[in-house]
């Protein structure tokens, strides 16, 4: 039923996961979700879904033009917590999903790829009221990319080995605080945005 918590035991699970029902998935012992290499490993389409405690492996697959990600959500109230996302073009892609929370995740992109060949660690588009907190991000294009999104809080994240630590485009009324950005072309790129 809606709202059920499903505990997933340790192990390796092949193929992409499509969530169209509001459930809470909790990994025990770091179960591994391995993508099919054709799209996003986890797609969230129902509101108020939580996914936590998983290793999510994109296996260097997918398509930048289709926003392939470790976790791709277009549903409000999504929570992605304490996940280890690796080898995905985008770590977490948030598309028109108000009230999303991404926290305490480790996101490692694809080492060795040029910045133009990979996506951001966390990408937020056309979303309001999001929170990105306590994430550690490496080897991506931009650590945190915020476009056409307002009312967000970005705090206590670490991003390194990338182009920009945080990149705002056309995003007003946002706060970023207590983040660390290292080994990039710029720490923060604040573009076409007001009241940051």
Tokens, residue 118:
């990979």
Tokens, residue 34:
């391995």
Q: Is the dihedral of CA 91, 196, 158, 134 positive or negative?
A: negative
Query: What is the biggest distance separating any 2 CA atoms in the chain, rounded to whole angstroms?
Result: 48
Q: What is the pLDDT of residue 130?
A: 98
Q: What is the pLDDT of residue 74?
A: 98
| CB contact set of 45 (below 8 Å; sequence gap of 6+) | 18, 19, 20, 73, 74, 75
Q: How many CB atoms lie within 10 A of CB 142?
A: 26
- For residue 62, give Cα distances in angstroms to 17, 23, 56, 78, 195: 14, 25, 14, 22, 35
Backbone angles phi, psi at 115, to 5 degrees: -55, -35
Q: What is the pLDDT of residue 121?
A: 98
Q: What is the pLDDT of residue 132?
A: 99
SS3 65: helix
Closest CA to 41 of 24, 28, 56: 56
Contact (CB, 8 A) for 51 and 79: yes
Q: What is the pLDDT of residue 101?
A: 99
Residues in the chain with pLDDT values less than 70: none
Contact (CB, 8 A) for 196 and 169: no
Q: What is the pLDDT of residue 106?
A: 98
34-87: pLDDT as tens digits: 999 999 999 999 999 999 999 999 999 999 999 999 999 999 999 999 999 999
Contact (CB, 8 A) for 135 and 104: yes
Q: What is the pLDDT of residue 53?
A: 98
DSSP 8-class letter at 123: E
SS3 48: coil
Q: What is the pLDDT of residue 94?
A: 98
């Amino acid at each position: 039923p809606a709202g059920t918590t499903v505990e997933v035991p340790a192990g390796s699970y092949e193929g992409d996961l499509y969530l169209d029902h509001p459930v809470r998935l909790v990994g025990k012992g770091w179960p591994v979700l391995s993508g099919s290499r054709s799209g996003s490993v986890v797609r969230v389409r129902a509101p108020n879904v939580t996914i936590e405690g998983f290793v999510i492996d994109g296996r260097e697959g997918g398509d930048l033009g289709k926003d392939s990600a470790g976790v791709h959500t277009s549903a409000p109230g999504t929570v992605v917590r304490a996940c280890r996302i690796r080898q995905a073009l985008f770590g977490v892609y948030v598309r028109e999903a108000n009230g999303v929370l991404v926290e305490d995740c480790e996101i490692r992109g694809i080492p060795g790829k040029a910045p133009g060949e990979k996506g951001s660690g966390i990408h937020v588009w056309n979303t309001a009221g999001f929170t990105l907190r306590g994430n550690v991000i490496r080897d991506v294009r931009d650590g945190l990319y915020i476009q056409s999104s307002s009312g967000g809080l970005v705090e206590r994240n670490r991003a390194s080995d990338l182009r920009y630590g945080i990149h705002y485009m056309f995003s007003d009324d946002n706060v970023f605080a207590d983040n660390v950005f290292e080994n990039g072309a710029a720490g923060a790129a604040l573009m076409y945005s007001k009241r940051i």
